[in-house]
Structure 1
Amino acid sequence: MDSMIIYLIKASLVAAFTYLAYVDWHSFRLPNRITLPLIVLGMTFNGLFEQQFVSATSAWIGAVVGYGSLWALNATYRLVRGKNGVGMGDAKLLAALGAWLGWESLPSILLMASILGLIGGIAWLRWHRQQLQQAFPFGPFLAIAGIIELLWPQIIPTLIIPRLI
């Protein structure tokens, strides 16, 4: 019975992250009505239930570091360039991923999202014939990387990095 509950939770998360990827790709927005509850639910699930994905501490640190890292990146970019470089919806999505999957998963998620985003960005530029200064949604790549990490935890450190070294 417990494995069925975990399966349903994972399926719900995949659906939520897929929806967020779709919305961000089309609107450049990640709605607070979905990202904020995902943060709270991730910390609650990992803090209160026996069948948790990560420890409560890891979930809390994941939410704070997930949000804080993209907030800091954006603040630095804003100081240098005078405009935002990362949307705070992306920061909230990374906080939600950290709340569900723990702070330990954040480096893998960011690496996968960056690689996928680079590939997607090149395709986006070719498809839309836009300049490099145009905005580009990063949320879909965070969501896809989060789904990969949810379904196949630690794929980067265990399968990919050893083959590169």
Structure 2
Amino acid sequence: MDLESLHFIVKLLLILSLLYLAYIDWRTFRLPDHVTLPLICIGIVFNAVSELGFTNTSSALIGGILGYGFLWALNSGFRAIKGRNGIGMGDAKLLAALGAWLGWVALPNILFFASFLGLIGGLAWLKFNKQKLNRAFPFGPFLAIAGIIELLWPQFIQNLLPKLI
């Protein structure tokens, strides 16, 4: 099998994993550790040992740390102000996995686009489910969609940003 075919298979497996996580989160408000944690580790190892990697090892490690750390810090600040969690740590692990696979440079694009999609999709979800605005909605599906777009078309989000601002 040639490298291009292997690269396609790896991308497909990553996309299927992200779609699975999006589905689970949408239905249960949970992103299971038995999927997110291996996804982080496999992303780092894949980028470290494979010539098919999407980024270099240090970018994968930093991406995993920053992906988790940013949402953890954001949630800690929210909890200090409001006395409750504002985002689940499954979302932080999913962003860490995306950082481990795609590198830290992809995180701002993913987070911005997921937030944009989450704002629109979350409001629609709340309205469809007849919930109040202070009600939680799953953010993982929007992270997964943004991650898939960043994986397949890395310049798409970057080119879209100036048009949205």
> With structure 2 as the length reference, what TM-score do the two structures score?
0.96
CA distance in 1, matches of 2:78, 2:27: 24
3-state SS of paired residue (2:86) = coil
Q: Which residue identity does 1:83 align to in structure 2?
A: R
CA distance in 2, matches of 1:164, 1:95: 25
Q: CA deviation at 1:148?
A: 0.5
CA distance in 1, matches of 2:161, 2:82: 33
Q: Which residue identity does 2:69 align to in structure 1?
A: G
Is 2:154 the counterpart of 1:160?
Answer: no
Q: CA deviation at 1:12?
A: 0.4
3-state SS of paired residue (1:86) = coil
**Alignment partner, residue 88 of structure 2:** 87
Residue pair 2:62, 2:103 contacting (<8 A) in 1 also = yes
**Alignment partner, residue 140 of structure 1:** 141
Q: CA deviation at 1:125?
A: 1.7
**Alignment partner, residue 45 of structure 1:** 46
**Alignment partner, residue 79 of structure 2:** 78
Residue pair 1:54, 1:101 contacting (<8 A) in 2 also = yes
3-state SS of paired residue (1:80) = helix
Q: CA deviation at 1:49?
A: 1.1
CA distance in 1, matches of 2:162, 2:3: 33
String of CA shifts for 1:5-62, please: whole Å, max 9, x gaps.
1100000011000000000000000000100000000000001111211010100000
CA distance in 2, matches of 1:110, 1:161: 12
Is 2:37 the counterpart of 1:68?
Answer: no
Is 2:102 the counterpart of 1:101?
Answer: yes
CA distance in 1, matches of 2:151, 2:120: 21
Q: CA deviation at 1:122?
A: 1.3
Q: Which residue identity does 1:18 align to in structure 2?
A: L
Identity score, percent: 59
Residue pair 1:46, 1:59 contacting (<8 A) in 2 also = yes
**Alignment partner, residue 151 of structure 1:** 152
**Alignment partner, residue 30 of structure 1:** 31
CA distance in 2, matches of 1:70, 1:161: 21
Q: CA deviation at 1:135?
A: 1.3
Q: CA deviation at 1:123?
A: 0.6
CA distance in 1, matches of 2:160, 2:25: 28
When the two chains are superposed, the root-mean-square deviation of aligned CA atoms in Å is 1.1
> With structure 1 as the length reference, what TM-score do the two structures score?
0.96
**Alignment partner, residue 59 of structure 1:** 60
Q: CA deviation at 1:156?
A: 1.9
